[in-house]
Amino acid sequence: MMYDVIIKNARIPQNDDTVLTNILVKDEKIAGFLDNIDGIEAKEIIDAEGNLTLPGCIDSHTHFMYQGFPHRENFLTGTAAAARGGVTTIIDMPCCSVPSARSVEQLELKLDLVKPQALVDFAMWGGVTGEDVREGWLDHVQEQADYGVVAFKAYMTPSVPTFPRVTDPEMYEAFKAVAKTGLPIGIHAENYSMCDYYVNKFREEGRMDGPAWAEARMELAEKVAIELGISFAEDSGARLHIVHMSTGIGAKLVGDAKKRGLNVTSESCPHYLTLNYQDAMTKHGACAKIAPPLRTKKDNEEQWEGINNGSIDFIATDHAPYEIESEKAKEGMNIWTAFPGIPGVETMVPIIVSEGYNKGRISLSKLVDILSKNAAIHYGIYPKKGAMNIGSDADFTIIDLEKKWTIDPKTQASMCGYTPLEGMELTGKVAQTIVRGHLVFKDVEESKLRDLTDNELEEIVHNYPKRVEEKYSRIFENYPHAHSAEYEKSYRKEHPEVIDKHIRNIDGIMIKPGFGQFVKRQSIQILPRQIKF
């Protein structure tokens, strides 16, 4: 048999050990493993050079924002960042687009707009808001589930105008609607009233220092929000997922809920494991402003404990970059008026490898669980994704465990040009990223993106695909051009050449835009509650 690809000299995980093997790929799927490939024919051979080869890593929480906020990030730069960071599948949120994706029609519009840009595979969250409850639109929940979304997102605090937050009773109604689908409901767990009150109080008192943001949106605001979510989940039968959980007490609450037999899960992010608010927000100010905010060194350590005891199920990023010129450091802006969000998809895997696995905080099997396997199971795309089984998609993250490097926002694919992780020295770097057997990223200076012509960039990035506005005319009547007010005031709207230059400067991309495929949920799967007492 002629195989499409052989990935030779791949050091793959086997529990907490590794074995050197050669991986056979046919029709974009894993077709087998061989110790010796003498006499085996393939159209292409990719040499993993003995590096650690993980099942393709998954970032299950991104905001790429192309539709409505293209000055912040588009699907091309976002998925380029994913590829450079060893992420083979992203799961994008429904909220940061115009309109937000809360119905099948809105979801299909989003898909039609982002498909031509994608470099890695992508699944989608569904959305449910307070407006859906008030307007009697909860039938859209089942419709989105039937279409193939992997979960539903709800905000307890405001997000963007097209994705209204839920009040407490509205959240309970949303829980009941989502429970009927069998899918998880992810909540941004911060108590709105507490956050709003103390942000205004600190502002009125004249606090303008960076750490004030974190102190106003205090640990207690997340704690009581998680407790309420757990209570609603217990009563409604919904599968509660705490997204971007920032605190150690949050991990303890989730662990206790698991011990009681509830289907409650959580994710953390690399910044909540490595940064503390006093240092990062003093140094970086608004460029370290996120919600929930950074916490303390004690929270960092308690979250690593949560990963090891099973109360934190996997890692994601909440990748949500903003434009420095108009949204982070505009003249007259301060810590209260700057927008909250940072990039993360390009640095997630290297940070967890360097600060977790290489420093002995987590085992190899735990590394696979939190970067690949658990998110795939939780969101119903396993074993197509997140697995190294025969028949699984041939997705691989190849890591040079010994490569030392320093995070530099100027070399990253994200358009934003900042990160509070700047200057962090890591050991362990993504060497190659393979999606469905195709080499998408290699750690070299060359890039297919350099070859994109002005016309191609105009067609792929700056213009919508042909006939999209006609196909979705009803939506475009209500949302002209699908543009946000923030985009209309942005720097990059007036300087699209900056976007083109940035894209052409992204290193290592070995495939052209449009390669990435939409991944529908395969089935409803539930992570086992593996919690250490």
Q: Which domains does the chain have, with CATH numbers?
A: 3-50 (2.30.40.10), 53-441 (3.20.20.140)
- Reported as a single tens digit per residue, the pLDDT across 306-322 is 999 999 999 999 999 99
Predicted confidence (pLDDT) at residue 532 exceeds the cutoff of 80: no
How big is the chain, counted in residues?
533
- Reported as a single tens digit per residue, the pLDDT across 249-266 is 999 999 999 999 999 999
Element (H, E) at 246: none
Question: What mean pLDDT is predicted for residues 190-197?
Answer: 98
Q: CB neighbours of 455 closer than 8 A, spacing ≥ 6? A: none
- Reported as a single tens digit per residue, the pLDDT across 86-126 is 999 999 999 999 999 999 999 999 999 999 999 999 999 99
Question: What mean pLDDT is predicted for residues 331-349?
Answer: 98
Residue 531: pLDDT band by 50, 70, 90 thresholds? confident
Alpha-carbon gap, residue 347 to 413, rounded angstroms: 11
Alpha-carbon gap, residue 191 to 17, rounded angstroms: 43
Question: What mean pLDDT is predicted for residues 411-439?
Answer: 98
Q: State the burial class of residue 523 (Cβ atoms within 10 Å of its Cβ: 0-12, 13-18, 19+).
A: exposed
E strands, 15-79, in order: 17-26, 29-34, 41-47, 52-55, 57-62
Question: What mean pLDDT is predicted for residues 450-458?
Answer: 97
The terminus-to-terminus CA distance of the chain in angstroms comes to: 50
Alpha-carbon gap, residue 115 to 513, rounded angstroms: 9
Q: CB neighbours of 277 closer than 8 A, spacing ≥ 6? A: 210, 211, 213, 214, 215, 288, 293, 294, 295, 296
Predicted confidence (pLDDT) at residue 459 exceeds the cutoff of 90: yes
pTM score, whole prediction: 0.98
pLDDT, residue 496, reads: 96
- Reported as a single tens digit per residue, the pLDDT across 478-507 is 999 999 999 999 999 999 999 999 999 999
Residue 529: pLDDT band by 50, 70, 90 thresholds? confident
In whole numbers, what is the pLDDT of the chain averaged over residues? 97
Alpha-carbon gap, residue 59 to 314, rounded angstroms: 9
Contact (Cβ atoms closer than 8 angstroms) between residue 420 and residue 504: no
Proportion of the chain above pLDDT 90, given as a percent: 98
Question: What mean pLDDT is predicted for residues 317-332?
Answer: 97
pLDDT, residue 91, reads: 99
Predicted confidence (pLDDT) at residue 533 exceeds the cutoff of 70: no
Q: CB neighbours of 208 closer than 8 A, spacing ≥ 6? A: 334, 335, 336
Residue 530: pLDDT band by 50, 70, 90 thresholds? confident
